Structure 1
Amino acid sequence: MDLLRLVAVAVLLALPTRGRCSGGDGGDDMHPIVLVPGYGSNRLDARLTATYEPAAPLCGAREGEGWFELWPNHAATRDPSQAPCLAEQMSLVYDAVADDYRNAAGVVTRVPSFASTRALIGWDPLVRQLEAMGYRDGESLFAAPYDFRYAVAPHGHPSAEGARYFGRLARLIEWASRRNEGRPAVVVAHSYGCALTYQFLLARPLAWRRRFVKHAVFLAAALGGFAEGMNMLSSGAGSGLPNVARPARARLARSQQSALWRLPTPMVFGDRPVVVTKNSTYSANNIVEFLDAIGFTEGVSPYVTRVLPMWQALPPPMVPVTSMYGVGVMTPETFVYGEDGFEGTPEVVYGDGDGDMNMVSLVATEKEWSGVEGQILKVVRLPGVCHTGFFSDDLALKKVVAEIQEVAVSIELHQKRENLVLSE
């Protein structure tokens, strides 16, 4: 028996350790990783065609010049004269007849560097950590950027851009698996990317999920929307365009399909007061009245038909999930408008969350999925970590890397060790 134990120890020492690669495609014990960014965290290119009719001559200066970087556009955020052009070219149009969203006339867009981490904005610290573990861009580490102005739609409603992205994401995950000896992928998503990933998983057959997705790591997944989403639609706050007048910011926010996905959902928020005016109180249960009150009546139909059906319930995705989020950060919870109504600046009442996402939404997954047979869920709360802190806070970054390492690297190693013990 002692000799058998010595042999088992020797074999264990010879096995690959965490973070060590045995080959260029990530090593024998590593699952491929696919990163899904949050809103505004990847690049968008655009080109202007002859059908583009700019509101001001300056905005048409690039017509016929080919592709240029539409987002991020640092010049537009610094130069007030260029900011309205960016807002105009970033806006979408909801075609009520076609029941779908599209670019403004004459604006053509694309998402560059699909599959590569070079497409991501702000993810460099995490990417470097994963590369230090042995992951390689395009071999065992991939990214799935998308046009974050869009979303997807429920069955029976067209969503050309959303369907195109889901198709590309499925093919990327399948390719990542084939590229790495058939190992299923670990999908790591942040913020709005979590909502898209979640709906993507629900849309794929269960057999496909179990074959190609080893684990999903959700960073700041608020699958019930958030209170700030209502303020964004009323005022255009959070557009990233400080040099654009408030009405133009609001028009930009309201044009984007993804803006309606930010709204707090009735299932998660219920009748909690989110927006309060002199004469009315608005919660997730009366969003339609809120949209009418802010003058966004054209948003009512797509909200009721294309958004609400997708978030009436939160069925478990039936793949293992790790949910990581920050807590203990002052987060906007209620917006109280005074005598000036929606034209004024609201007083903000704060509650718990990660600074952007409210606690009631961050905990929605554990409330709905805990105890569901067949659904593996691990929750990691990070006190004091803000919404984007996963990429800037050293401690949070280490925690994220440790969780990814646990599910992407060490699972097969643990299985090997268990088999050795059993055989002994």
Structure 2
Amino acid sequence: MALVRPLLVVAALLALPLGSRAGNLHPVVLVPGYGSNQLEATLTAAYEPSAPACGAGADQQGWFQLWPNQTAMRDASQAPCFADQMSLVYDAGADDYRNAHGVATRVPFFGSTRALIGWDQLVRQLEGMGYRDGETLLAAPYDFRYAVAPPGHPSAVGDRYFRDLGRLIQESRLSQGRPAIVVAHSFGCALTYQFLLSRPLPWRRRYVKHVVLLGSALGGFAAGMDALSSGMDYGLPGVTRPAMLRLARSQQSALWRLPTPLVFGDRPLAVTGSATYTARNVSGFLKAIGFPEGVRPYETRVLPMWEALPAPMVPVTSVIGVGVKTPETYVFWTDGLEGKAEVVYGDGDGDINL
């Protein structure tokens, strides 16, 4: 669900028992959706570009904005560079994801709403209610290419984000004297939900007043399968199909988009002339699209986290979108998953299924 009506969030917040004076406000922590985070990168001498132009002066240019990438959006010749630098690598030996060699990344402005893309209207509304950036109004951006993993599996970037998010919420409670309201959007909802489950119940009840989930997809959505079969171009011109597939399939977070058996059951998600794929045989789907290396991380790092949806045991307000054509099933009029699919639509917000 796009953040085109931030007043919905404000309405949800106003429905909570907030005071009318700035001194009575509970701190608000904003957890953005997938594309609403900024990402900076720097290249070292170890970087091996796929094209000479991508590595020119790489170890001397310092930090630059990797996302959103205005240079690549204007210049199609930069698309290969973007794909190189944005893609992750799954290290099967270490059982974790990392950046490509020679690429270092960071998420700027953690704690401040300066970090957010597309949240300006909501921030202004909250500031009009008395909230102040960095004090009672905080933001928890993240590297959206990563996620977390279940116990027993390393997740260096995701675990660090959870520590930072926990510290931010805890410090807001200590500095303002009131537990925080956490407002999350899209992929940020899935991260927030898993974050809450990872914290002891006494901690949740002490530091979290309320959680507002906007367009959450706890358990995936049908379009998540299309992203892995067709690839992602991030709206950039001139991205080749191999680069689009690499961008999608290398990201840990892309596997979190896949529909889970608990939520989708036996609903047909992708249909060919010889097979029907549901959430119960996603592993077969991954093999069929030529992505067998995605099976292990999907089965060991994703499925165990979404086998159940226990209540987080804190008050939750969920805002969902309805009445918009939303992909529900992808039909391929061949025996395989090649070519362009015919899309069967259902209800939802355009991305997230109802």
Determine the structure 1 residue equivalent to 2:231.
236
The amino acid across from 1:125 in the alignment is Q
* Per-residue deviation, 1:337: 1.5
Structure 1, unpaired ranges of 5+:
1-16, 360-424
Residues 1:234 and 1:84: Cα distance change in structure 2 (over 3 Å): same
Q: Is 2:85 aligned against 1:89?
A: yes
Mapped partners of 1:329, 1:122: distance in 2 = 21
User: Conserved in 2, the CA contact under 8 Å of 1:235 and 1:342?
Assistant: no
Determine the structure 2 residue equivalent to 1:411.
none
Of 132, 139, 159, which residue of structure 1 is paired with 2:128?
A: 132
The amino acid across from 1:283 in the alignment is T
Mapped partners of 2:338, 2:113: distance in 1 = 41
Mapped partners of 2:217, 2:57: distance in 1 = 38
Structure 1 moving runs of 4+ over 4 Å: 17-20
Q: Which residues of 2 match residues 256-295 of structure 1 at below 5 A?
A: 256-295=251-290
Mapped partners of 1:50, 1:320: distance in 2 = 49
- 1:157-189 Cα distance to aligned partner (Å, 9 max, x none): 000000000000000001111121x20000000
Of 156, 163, 181, which residue of structure 2 is paired with 1:167?
A: 163
User: Conserved in 1, the CA contact under 8 Å of 2:273 and 2:335?
Assistant: no
Determine the structure 2 residue equivalent to 1:191.
186
Q: Is 2:26 aligned against 1:31?
A: yes
Residues 1:230 and 1:130: Cα distance change in structure 2 (over 3 Å): same
Q: Is 2:349 aligned against 1:354?
A: yes
The amino acid across from 1:327 in the alignment is V
Mapped partners of 2:171, 2:241: distance in 1 = 44
Of 58, 63, 70, which residue of structure 1 is paired with 2:66?
A: 70
User: Conserved in 1, the CA contact under 8 Å of 2:75 and 2:237?
Assistant: no
The RMSD of aligned alpha carbons is 1.4
Determine the structure 2 residue equivalent to 1:150.
146
Percent identity, aligned pairs only, is 72
SS of residue matched to 2:148 = coil
Q: TM-score, normalised by structure 2?
A: 0.93
User: Conserved in 1, the CA contact under 8 Å of 2:173 and 2:179?
Assistant: yes
User: Conserved in 2, the CA contact under 8 Å of 1:152 and 1:163?
Assistant: yes
User: Conserved in 1, the CA contact under 8 Å of 2:76 and 2:236?
Assistant: no
User: Conserved in 2, the CA contact under 8 Å of 1:338 and 1:344?
Assistant: no
User: Conserved in 2, the CA contact under 8 Å of 1:39 and 1:192?
Assistant: yes
SS of residue matched to 1:343 = coil
SS of residue matched to 1:298 = helix
Give the count of matched residue pairs.
Answer: 337
Mapped partners of 1:18, 1:313: distance in 2 = 32
* Per-residue deviation, 1:20: 4.4
The amino acid across from 2:129 in the alignment is M
Mapped partners of 2:53, 2:296: distance in 1 = 34
Determine the structure 1 residue equivalent to 2:307.
312
User: Conserved in 1, the CA contact under 8 Å of 2:89 and 2:250?
Assistant: yes
Mapped partners of 2:273, 2:51: distance in 1 = 38
* Per-residue deviation, 1:242: 4.2
Q: Is 2:108 aligned against 1:112?
A: yes
* Per-residue deviation, 1:243: 2.3
User: Conserved in 2, the CA contact under 8 Å of 1:260 and 1:303?
Assistant: yes
Residues 1:242 and 1:340: Cα distance change in structure 2 (over 3 Å): farther
* Per-residue deviation, 1:79: 1.4
